[in-house]
Amino acid sequence: MLHTPSGGAGSGTAAADSGLMSIGTVLGVLRDEFPEVTISKIRFLESEQLVEPRRTASGYRKFSSQDVERLALVLRMQRDHYLPLKVIREHLDALERGEPVRLPPLGRRSDGSAGEPLEGSEEPTAARVGRDELLAAAEIGEPELAEWESYGLISPLPDGAYDAEAVTVAALVVELGRFGIEPRHLRVMKAAADREAGLVDQVVAPLRRHRNPQTRAHAEARTKELAGLAVKLHAALVQTALGVRLP
């Protein structure tokens, strides 16, 4: 069971008379417990609405001690319990409502991805869907799915099932098709995504090869963080190129 910490990474920290801290000060506080945290990481968590620092008139971020404690809690749930940001956000909302929160055992990933499971525990499996489920969810037939696979837009796993994210890809392919954009036109997007994924892999590869199991486990969180940033950058670049601003 988890409770909101009454003291934490921000306790006892010297700050301005207002009690608020700059992002650089917050980084120094958090690095005592989280040596790999960066300013980019803090900004990313803010963009995901996991923390909401105040802003000065000139736009600078100012964090309260409660903000720092919240950031530390988020980082612990990522590091110790391998929780995705969506689940962490749900836990934080529950805590704010005064509800108890139960976390998976230390060292276990909630999504079943590779890691160091507890001894004697049953290894969970990642979310996946069968071929029939994918066809039903996307409301398409076998010919359409076969065509998408031929262009590499969707690929089955070795056992013939699909990662759950394939449902999202399929839905987007269908939506784009309503505008006359055919699957063959999307090969350029797939190629760009593969290049972006390759760049992320280069960055996290040293962590995955590290001798320390905990460091290797951090590669998963770092991959998700970089993937999120890559997606945001890609969206911003497309909007800039088109001269539009999405809500």
Tens of pLDDT, residues 136-182: 878 889 999 999 999 999 999 888 888 878 888 888 898 899 899 99
Residue 120 lies in a domain: no
Spatial CA neighbour of 60 closest among 24, 8, 33, 7? 24
Residues 16 and 66 in one domain: yes
Tokens at 41, concatenated: 């990481």
Q: CATH number of the domain that 34 lies in?
A: 1.10.1660.10
| pLDDT of amino acid 106 | 58
Res 12 pLDDT > 50: no
pLDDT at residue number 52: 92
Indicate whether 199 and 149 sit together in one domain: no
CA distance 86 to 43: 17
Any domain includes 28:
yes
Q: Tell me what pLDDT residue 217 has.
A: 75
Q: Are residues 219 and 207 in contact, defined by beta-carbon separation less than 8 angstroms?
A: yes
Residue 116 lies in a domain: no
Q: Which residue from 50, 14, 8 is spatially nearest to 33, judged by alpha carbons?
A: 8
pLDDT for res 47? 84
175 shares a domain with 187: no
- Distance between CA atoms of residues 79 and 62, nearest Å: 25
| Same domain for 70 and 152 | no
Identify the pLDDT of residue 3.
44
Could you tell me the residue range of the domain that residue 86 belongs to? 1-111
Average pLDDT, integer, range 99-105: 76
The total of other beta-carbon atoms located within 10 Å of residue 44's CB is 18
**pLDDT of 173-218, one tens digit each?**
988 998 999 999 999 999 988 899 898 888 888 887 877 777 777 8
pTM: 0.47
d(CA 228, CA 18): 33
